[in-house]
Amino acid sequence: MNLGNSLLVSYETRSQNLSNNLLTLGWRYRSAQRASDGNYRWEAQLGYGIGSQGNGAIASLSTTILPGILLRARYQGVSVTSDQASFNIDLVSSAGLQSGITPGDRRSDYFRTQGGLLIQPFFDNNNNGKRDPGEKLYTENPDTLLVVNNRVVKSLQPDIQSDRILVRLNPGTYRLDLDPAGFPEDWQATTDAYAVDVIAGSYTPVMLPLTRAYAFSGVVTDAQGKPINGARVEAVSKDSKVRLFSVTNTAGVYYLERLQQGTYDLLVNDKPVGGMTLKLDASSQGFQELNVQQLENQDFRAVIPSVNQSVLPNKEKDK
């Protein structure tokens, strides 16, 4: 258990002299409140030690007074090497030396048995899946963006910094989901869910690339200008690996969303739209309007396309 009341059992010995030992049975309380550095606001322990040097009570009380600094009072009626009682008041550093982690992020006591995630969402401007120089990190709205094992990350008390989101977890395998509600406007995730392993003693780094998101909307009408209900509008990538579709409503409106950068053919009911090719790159607008009309010969053509150079008709088929 990490919070509230726990029963503890510990055994100490000296490698130089195996006859010196101390068995301690005790109770521990950790407050639900945490300091700004993630340490417990209060921690208390009360126990009784039985060892080669004698028996005695053991008690301690600690609180975080500064980020990475604990004030601890400790009474020990017996130790592994002495039967003399002792009382100390100490300032204890909770900082570790893990690369890239600021003081307070890694406490040696905590990370003997625990681990965590170091999450870094970033704007993948060139859509190559890795963070390149100049690509900014995005740590806003993590409470709506991240879900760990079907729990919103807020419930796990993350440490949110300008360049990372730290989540402390027990060792194991976790599912990390990205909720579209937390995406920045006109951006999306290339992958919606990840399986990540947490190992005791360290943070597992997780890079989350966010790419530009594009959307098209418009109305599909027949030759007389009446809306067509139930038409299937598709954007198909040139390699046919990506197919996104929308079905028009009673007003003939379709909405294609979550398109990534690339080149797409536009189809209505499996027929090409006047040879229309959608070319999306970093300069393209996030949302564009494109209406489609059915001709007398049952073919389709684009009508009043968005005035954006990323939407280019194929003139060879445009009649």
102 within domain boundaries:
no
Average pLDDT of span 36-43: 74
The model's pLDDT over 176-195, given as tens digits with 9 standing for 90+, comes to 999 988 998 888 888 889 99
Q: Are residues 112 and 186 in the same domain?
A: yes
Q: Are residues 73 and 137 in the same domain?
A: no
The model's pLDDT over 94-130, given as tens digits with 9 standing for 90+, comes to 544 333 444 444 444 555 567 889 999 999 988 888 8
Q: Are residues 196 and 243 in the same domain?
A: no
Cβ distance 24 to 59 under 8 Å? no
Q: Dig out the tokens for 162 from the structure.
A: 């300008």
318 within domain boundaries:
no
Q: Are residues 206 and 112 in the same domain?
A: yes
- CA separation, residue 28 to residues 21, 42, 155, 204 (Å): 21, 11, 23, 28
Window from 56-60, 61-65, 274-278 with minimum mean pLDDT: 274-278
Q: Are residues 183 and 237 in the same domain?
A: no
100 within domain boundaries:
no
Q: Is the dihedral of CA 255, 290, 240, 178 positive or negative?
A: negative
Q: What is the dihedral of CA 19, 22, 23, 27, to 10 degrees?
A: -170
The model's pLDDT over 218-228, given as tens digits with 9 standing for 90+, comes to 999 998 989 99
pLDDT-derived band at 291, boundaries 50, 70, 90: very high
Q: Are residues 172 and 188 in the same domain?
A: yes
Residue 256, pLDDT above cutoff 50: yes
Alpha helices in 80-223, H assignment, sequence order: 108-111, 142-145
- What 189-192 contacts at long range (C-beta under 8 Å, 24+ apart), as own/partner pairs, is 190/124, 190/127, 190/129, 190/260
Cβ distance 119 to 208 under 8 Å? yes
Q: Are residues 234 and 146 in the same domain?
A: no
116 within domain boundaries:
yes
Q: Tell me the CATH number at 238.
A: 2.60.40.1120
Beta strands of 179-290 (E only): which ranges? Answer: 187-189, 193-198, 203-212, 214-221, 232-237, 243-247, 253-259, 262-268, 271-280, 287-289
Q: Are residues 134 and 218 in the same domain?
A: no
Read off the pTM: 0.53
Domain stops at, among 61, 93, 125 = 93
78 within domain boundaries:
yes
169 within domain boundaries:
yes
Helix or strand holding residue 77 (H, E): none
117 within domain boundaries:
yes
103 within domain boundaries:
no
Q: Tell me the CATH number at 199.
A: 2.60.40.10
Q: Is the dihedral of CA 137, 141, 144, 149 positive or negative?
A: positive
Domain stops at, among 211, 242, 273 = 211
Pairing verdict, β 214-221 and 287-289: parallel
Residue 33 half-sphere exposure, CB side, CA atoms within 13 Å?
A: 5
Please give the residue range of the domain that contains residue 79.
4-93
Q: What is the CA radius of gyration of the chain?
A: 30
Total structural domains in the chain? 3
At residue 32, the pLDDT reads 81
Q: Are residues 220 and 206 in the same domain?
A: no
Domain stops at, among 151, 178, 211 = 211
Residue 245, pLDDT above cutoff 50: yes
Q: Are residues 163 and 200 in the same domain?
A: yes
Q: Are residues 221 and 241 in the same domain?
A: yes
Q: Are residues 48 and 121 in the same domain?
A: no
Helix or strand holding residue 295 (H, E): none
Which residues, 6+ apart, have CB-to-CB distance to 131 below 8 Å?
Answer: 120, 122, 124, 207, 209
